Amino acid sequence: MQYRTLGRTGVQVSTLALGAMNFGQIGRTGIDEATAIVDAALEAGINFIDTADMYGQGESEEMVGKAIAGRRDDLVLATKATLPMGEERNRRGGSRRWLVTELDNSLRRLGVDHVDLYQMHRWDPTTSDEETLSALTDLQRAGKIRYFGSSSFPAYRIVQAQWAARENHLSRYVTEQPGYSILQRGIETHVLPVTEEYGLGVLVWSPLGSGWLSGAIRKGQEITTNRSVSRPQWFDLSTPSNQARLDAVEQLAKVADEAGLSLIQLALGFVTAHPAVTSAIIGPRTLDHLESQLAAADTVLSADVLDEIDAIVAPGLDLAPEQKFDTPPSLLDPSLRRR
């Protein structure tokens, strides 16, 4: 396992991080299997675990808490907030009112007195940066969080939040967690240059492209990834973007074979090769999934292989741009652009 410094914090984290989204109802991973996955991940040298309050409406956090009991000090623990936790309109967002309440809920579910990294799962356009950063700074000073970061923020919002922290003499986001894979390279255009400029640690999610780069989606075979059940539109092969991804996967599989690698090793080795990326978050549902992903822990792709990948999916290109999570709200809601 390789390790890198998390932004400018001085904290060392493994280049593969364990994501716990599939623990519980989302991935149908039970507590015994989840604990076994955590055990095997830590044994392999992974020292960073990432979860969120809304994964199973708290179920993932509870499972992570049970799995790490007695060894919390040996790992870097991260969770997130802002996405809805129920129907009540104030049980979401980046307000001080909600973050103070929900962090306590997360700590209770995790069975810990602090988290190392508390992340804003999405940008909340209804709440000012000053409001959110002020609340996070106070929670940091209270010892409940060590650092805080953002997730799926557009580049201009990352810059704005850095400016707001400096202008108001508040602590700043030290990490960003964007989606990134060979098939979704859009963050190379704006987000990664910004994170490098501000010295942010980058923890990328979905490095296997929601299963497209796991080997579970190939021409002429039945799609077996679990995500095809929860988000069937992402795997509808009648759409142009999914046809483009399928064609790219077939070409990438040939590159992997010629390099003596699995498709998973190629995919994970690609994202960790970018100098702005700190860790790739893997989200195994089973021990077999974990083992296939751990095989990429020390994968280093040659310049020739990286050039071949660039020829298949150009730098900065998203093959499925409609599946991004950092699109400005005005592009999604006509009322925000047609006043």
Active site residues: 55
> Burial, 325: exposed, middle or buried (Cβ in 10 Å; 0-12, 13-18, 19+)?
middle
**What's the sign of the alpha-carbon dihedral 3, 26, 146, 67?**
negative
Angle at the Cα of 287 (from 286 to 289), degrees rounded to 5? 65
Taking Cα atoms as reference points, which of 122, 121, 132 lies closest to residue 171?
A: 132
Q: Which ranges constitute the DSSP H helices of 237-302?
A: 240-259, 263-273, 287-294
CA distance linking residue 214 with residue 251, whole number of Å? 14
End-to-end CA gap in the chain: 53
Query: What SS3 state is found at 85?
Result: coil
